[in-house]
Every structure is written in C-alpha cells, then in structure tokens.
A and B are shown apart, each in its own frame.
Chain A
Amino acid sequence: MVHENLADVSDRLIYASILVYALAMLALCAEWAFSSRRFAAEAVEAVPVKALVGAGGPEVAEILPAAPPARERAEKFGRIGLSLAVLGFLLHLGGMACRGLAVDRVPWGNMYEFSSMSALAAMGVFLALTRKYDIRWLGVFVVTPVLLTLGLAVTVLYTDAQQLQPALQSYWLVIHVIAAVTSAGAFTVGAALSILYLVKEHAERTGSATLSRLPAADALDRIAYRVHAFVFPLWTFAVIAGAIWAENAWGRYWGWDPKETWAFITWVVYAAYLHARATAGWKGRRAAAVALTGFGCFLFNYFVVNLVVTGLHSYAGT
C-alpha cells in the first residue's frame, strides 16, 4: 500500500530542500568571497605600508576602513548560510520522513532513497560538528557534494515510492543500511576535510595565502582524523551487520559478491589510513591520500557496483 499524497509531499519537500541548500551554498560562498577580500586588504596593509609611507600614501587610508565592513558582511553571510543549511536539513529530513510514511517502511530501499539519506547524513554530521567546533568554513564543501548527490538522486536515480521485494524485507535493512547511510555521510565529510588538509598543507609549504581562512593544516588533519575515527567503527559495524543479514538471507555470511568485495576493500583501505597515520613517513599527506582512496573505493562500490557490475545486491538499483 503506497500513500500517493505523502509520496508527493515527500518529493516536494526534497525539491524545496534542494532550493534552500543551493541558497545556503551561495551564502556560504559569499562569506568566502568577502573574507578573502578582507585578507587581501590585510595583505595590502601589511606589505606595502612601508613602501607607501615615503609616498605619503593616501591609498592606505582608503583601503583600511574598507576591511571591517567586509568582515561583518562575511560574518552575516556565514550566519545566513548556516541557517539556510539548517532549514534545508529540516526540509530534507521531513521529505525523507514522508517518504518512509508513504510506503510504511524505512526510506532507504533503493538508490534514490539511499542517496538522499546519505546526503542527509552528511549534512547531519556537518551540523553536529558545527555545534562542537567552529567549522562553518567547511559548510560550502559539504553543501556542494550534498547538492550534487541530491541532484543525481532526483534526476538519474529517481524511483517512485514502492514497496520492497522479499529479499529486502528484514529488520536488518534498518540496521545495516542506517549504518551504511551514516557512514556514507561521514565518509563524505571526512573526504572534504582531507582534501582541504592537502590544499592547506600545500599552501603552507609554498607560503601561499590560499585558504588562509582555514585553520592550520595540523588542525585540519586532526579534525579529519576525528571524523574518520568515528566512521571506521561504524563502517565495520555496517559490514558485520551486512554479513549477519547475508547469513540469514542466503545461508552464508560472506560470499565475495562484488558488493561485499568492495565493502571489504573500502574497509581495508580505511584501516590502512588509520595505520598510516601512526607510521613515520606516512602520516600527513600520504595518510590523507589513503583516506581519499578509501572514499574513492566507497563511491565505486556505490555507483559502479550497483549500476554496472551484476551481483546479489543488484536490486539496489531499482
């Protein structure tokens, strides 16, 4: 039994959340733009002052007052962006809840629903992090992949609200997939942090002012590690729960089905990341590269294995 009205409401809420996320992204980009202008102003202020003193520089006087309003404006855009992100998250959450109510089951039974849920999880992980750390600067790097994922979900992967086939009718769908969905979200945030770390680390080494708004590379590396340290046990749990489900559904807990194989590869690569971070000569850049490889494996498992390679998990596509 599918409640068509609720399914319709769900679709509308998802579209609304896409719109609000897009606005949030614009606001957060504006914050970046204004804060980098501020830094540009400070750079001008810091370096040419000596040169201009001799010239009796009136230009300096023009530049200096411009800085505080830009900072205020950046701050304002940042707050607006974050508020919009929260609003988008709530709409998104409502959309997924309606989807679940429309079909009387958990809303993660096909790729459309799984993608939307993992985008929701990524936003959730980010918003949870903002409560603990001052990391609004990460916002645009999370909202952008979230928008891309949702865009892909509503266009390419969209599936009408439907009931589940027998293979998916199990409470393990709740346990296994909620762990996988949350992992997907946290992997995305972790990957964004690792990329930012790599860029920032490069900027610090070359003395460039790129991303000067971000915290030091070391701090980025630490936050990236925290996120990965949170998601690795969760992913381990997702794999174990999947194995228990497979044992219950197919009579074997591990059969090297392509999906299982890539889940294993992803797990091994993230395990390597945790080891690399504790190994001399591997910590830092190399470890971050390993984490990104792990994220690549995760994406491969989701998109390529689901859509191209056939296996027992191929029902995930429809």
Chain B
Amino acid sequence: MIVTASQGRGKGPRPKMTRGGGIDRFRRQPLAVAALVFVVVITIVCILAPLLTPYPFDRGVLADTLQGPSARHPLGTDDVGRDVLSRLLYGGRTTLLAAVQATGFSVVLGVPAGLVAAFAGGWVDACLSRVADAIMTFPALLLAVVIIGITGPGLTNAMIAIGVVYGPRLFRVARAAGLAVLNETYIAAAKTVGCSPLRILMRHLLPNALSPLLVQVSLTMATAVLAEGSLSFLGLGVQPPQSSWGAVLGRSVPQMSQHPVPVIAAGVLISLLVLSFNLLGDGIRDSIGRERKS
C-alpha cells in the first residue's frame, strides 16, 4: 500500500505529458509558430491602436468620404469619411474581445458541465450529453441569429449566443478528459491514501485536460471570429458607431464596386485570424498527439 501511495503522489506510472517536450514539438511546426506570431502581433497592434493612428474610429471628415488608398489614408476612407485602417485597428479590439467573450462563455458553460457529467455519470451524464448533442446538431450561425432575434441585436447578446452554441464542444473535451482520468487506477490509489477530491482534480485532471482544452479553445476562437464577422456583417452584431472587422466589411459592401479595398482588407484580416487560430489548434493537437502515440 505504501508503494501505491508513493505512486499516487509522485510522477505516477503513466507516461506523462512533459511540458518541455510538448513545447519543443510545437516549435518544430513552422506553420503553427507563424500562426501564433500572427495572433500575438495582431493583438498587440490592436491594443495599441490609439497610439498607432491619429484618427478616431467613430468620427469622420465628411469632405473625405469614399477616398481610395493614399498616404494619409492607406486603406482609404468609408462612406462617412472615416479612416478605414483606423477602423480596422480599433475594430480588431472588438473582434478579438468578442471572440474571447464567446470562447470564455463556452468554457464557463461547457467545462464544469463536462466534469460534472464525467464524475457523476448515470442519468446526470446522460441528460447533459443529450442536451449537448441537441445543441451540436443545430446550425451555429442560425441559432445565434435566432437568439439575437429574441433578445435583440448587440454584440454581447451575439457572443453569448455563440458561447452557448460552442459550449458542447468544450463539454465533450472536458467530459472525455474527466472519464480518462477516472479510469486510471492511480486515482483509486490516490483515493485510498486519502487524497482530497480537489487535490485529485488539481494534480491529475488538469494536466490531462489542459492540452485538449487548449486545442478546443483555439478552434473555438477561430469560429467565434468567424461568427462575429458574420453577425456584424448582417448588422446583428456590433452597432454603429462601434467598429469591428465584420462591421467594416458589411458597411463597405454597398460601395464595393468602386471601393473594394475596405472589403478586401477586412476580409483578409478575418480570414488570416481564423486560419491562425485553426493552425494553432492543429499545432497544439499535433504536439500532444505524437506524445500519446510514443
């Protein structure tokens, strides 16, 4: 029994995810690293927006409407004379913040529910899993639009909607991680030597669940950016004069045939950010995946 206790407390007999190993493998994936760099750079640039641009995002100069790219306005101006680049820089804050909100919401919603389902089992698990399945089958964007239709337009409503829609994904990851840990014999060993449930949770569950959760968080960020873009494009997300990438794009569509630059700039930014979060998620997955196999 004493031997088991030391196993329960110590490194454990299971091949453990070594932090350094995972990061090393991540570093060997150029695409994933590039994606991470892009996300970090965009985040910093958007946070520093007020320092980087002399123009406000919400007021324009009516004499300067719908200008093409120039030295003063690298991406031109919009239909009320606002600098498009400035609107994109400020809009990036909204887009990123909205994505963080939505993702955070689905983590808060999905992870505890997933852990409860795993640990409680039985009908609790069955009920929660059915609800998650039901939400998963529904088209995310449509559900978000319907929720907004009922609660009224606005970015926060939109992001809560997105959070609800993607909660089940995190639910599944958390539940799977919980079940995996429960099935390990060393948990039983830890219990017999009187480890508190909280201690078991912190020691064994978190290291196990962290990597798959990170993967899912990254992928959810990608879909949240897409969703924000779509909803703001439809006019259901951020409300004027607030800016976001989707809003800049949606606003520029009517003048698209003469002034395509804002549409393309906003579209490319959204696409790159979504791609980066996807690649980041894949990269993290590959860094863990290989370890699992070996």
Q: Do A and B come from one complex?
A: no
